[in-house]
Amino acid sequence: MLLKACLPIVYPFYRTFRRFSSAFRVNEKPSLRVLLYHGIAPNEVDLLKSQLKWLSKRWNFITPTHFEKVVSGRKFLKKDSLLVSFDDGFKSDFFVADKVLKPMNIKAIFFVITDFVEEERECQTLKFVRENLKLNPKESGLSDHLWSMNWEDLKKLRKMGHVIGAHTKSHKRLTQGLAKETLEVEIRDSAKVIEKKLGFKVQHFAFPFGDFASIGQDALQIASEHFDFVYSGLRGFNRDWGSAKILRRDSLTVHENVYTIGSFLEGACDLRYSSKAKLLDMHLAGKMGVKLL
Ligand SMILES: [Zn+2]
């Protein structure tokens, strides 16, 4: 595994190596990766804008609809591509959609937590942000950008061409050992709430936290039965589409050096995640003997 401090330095080598090796491989498909952001504070908006602009020079941003077709094997990519996603449904993401994504014509998936969307009381929202999202706002009150988007915001995002995905009811870690009823409420029932409020079928689900330890076997089973597209937070290419797989995503912050991000997206750190992601894939492929956590 590469030390993170080395990632900006190795980026040009990784990029050249991948271009060079893919030129000699027959049937090599363009790469497909999914970016994972969370809330963006007001002082981070310009950083996000310049990060996305840098990425747009090297990768093609695809829409969630295009992504669905590629992952289902109904469409092929012509260029290395990225899908943008935001987890947790912070109010700041609505602002970002208008001020950053719209001018760049980027369509994203926003994964929302239904208890968070429905919470309107400040002290309860602050408690949720601290206890369920594991954030620690320094100030005593809640900053505007840390509120959740409401149902009206989500309707407007859909009108702008974005997609809303489910991210559970309360952002629990869906580990093995949780009662099946609890998992069903968190995974399936939360999507039903979104469907009832917004009037469409939810096809995308992202596991809270998204690391291997947060994806229990029963939870994975329920999620894969209910949704067409199930996302982890494990880094990796999504190029082997066509069979049941948990989708890989690259968790990013706007403070990351662009060359560090470039290295992530060229796969420099994938080895750290690949064996665990493959275990999840094997479970999804019906190899039930594969033991998850
Ligand atoms: Zn989350």
Beta bridge mates, 250 = 35
Position with higher pLDDT, 223 vs 138: 223
Residue 40, C-beta contacts closer than 8 angstroms, at least 6 positions apart:
48, 90, 92, 93, 95, 96, 145, 254
> 59 alpha carbon to ligand 1 midpoint, in Å?
25
Give the fold, CATH level 3, of 30-284: TIM Barrel (3.20.20)
Rounded to an integer, the average pLDDT of 57-76 is 92
Rounded to an integer, the average pLDDT of 105-111 is 98
Q: Please, are residues 162 and 100 in contact by the beta-carbon 8 Å criterion?
A: no
> 129 alpha carbon to ligand 1 midpoint, in Å?
11
In this prediction the pTM is 0.92
Rounded to an integer, the average pLDDT of 255-261 is 92
> 22 alpha carbon to ligand 1 midpoint, in Å?
34
Q: Please, are residues 80 and 19 in contact by the beta-carbon 8 Å criterion?
A: no
Mean pLDDT rounded to a whole number for the chain: 90
User: What's the confidence (pLDDT) of residue 289?
Assistant: 52
User: What's the confidence (pLDDT) of residue 144?
Assistant: 84
Spatial CA neighbour of 37 closest among 145, 123, 140, 138: 145
> 20 alpha carbon to ligand 1 midpoint, in Å?
37
HSE-CB at 97 with a 13 A cutoff on CA atoms is 26
> 192 alpha carbon to ligand 1 midpoint, in Å?
18
CB atoms within 10 A of CB 284: 18
> 217 alpha carbon to ligand 1 midpoint, in Å?
19
Rounded to an integer, the average pLDDT of 217-222 is 92
How many angstroms from the chain centroid is the CA of residue 64?
12
> 172 alpha carbon to ligand 1 midpoint, in Å?
9
pLDDT digits (tens, 9 = 90+) for 114-171: 999 999 998 899 999 999 999 887 766 788 888 999 999 999 999 999 999 999 999 9
Position with higher pLDDT, 244 vs 183: 183
**Is the pLDDT confidence value at 288 over 70?**
no
Q: Please, are residues 248 and 33 in contact by the beta-carbon 8 Å criterion?
A: yes
C-alpha dihedral, 74 to 53 to 271 to 225, nearest 10°: -40
CB atoms within 10 A of CB 290: 15
User: What's the confidence (pLDDT) of residue 174?
Assistant: 95
User: Which residue type, as a one-letter code, is found at position 81?
Assistant: S
Residue 293 and residue 288: Cα distance in Å, rounded? 13
Please give the structure tokens belonging to residue 182. 């609890």
> 132 alpha carbon to ligand 1 midpoint, in Å?
9
Strand extents, DSSP E, 174-276: 204-206, 229-231, 250-251
Residue 99 and residue 113: Cα distance in Å, rounded? 23
User: What's the confidence (pLDDT) of residue 158?
Assistant: 98
> 293 alpha carbon to ligand 1 midpoint, in Å?
20
**Is the pLDDT confidence value at 195 over 90?**
yes
> 275 alpha carbon to ligand 1 midpoint, in Å?
23
Rounded to an integer, the average pLDDT of 249-272 is 92
> 76 alpha carbon to ligand 1 midpoint, in Å?
30
> 15 alpha carbon to ligand 1 midpoint, in Å?
30
Is beta strand 60-61 parallel, antiparallel or unpaired with respect to 250-251?
Answer: unpaired
Alpha-carbon distances, residue 10 vs 14, 32, 40, 251 (angstroms): 6, 20, 28, 19
User: What's the confidence (pLDDT) of residue 1?
Assistant: 52
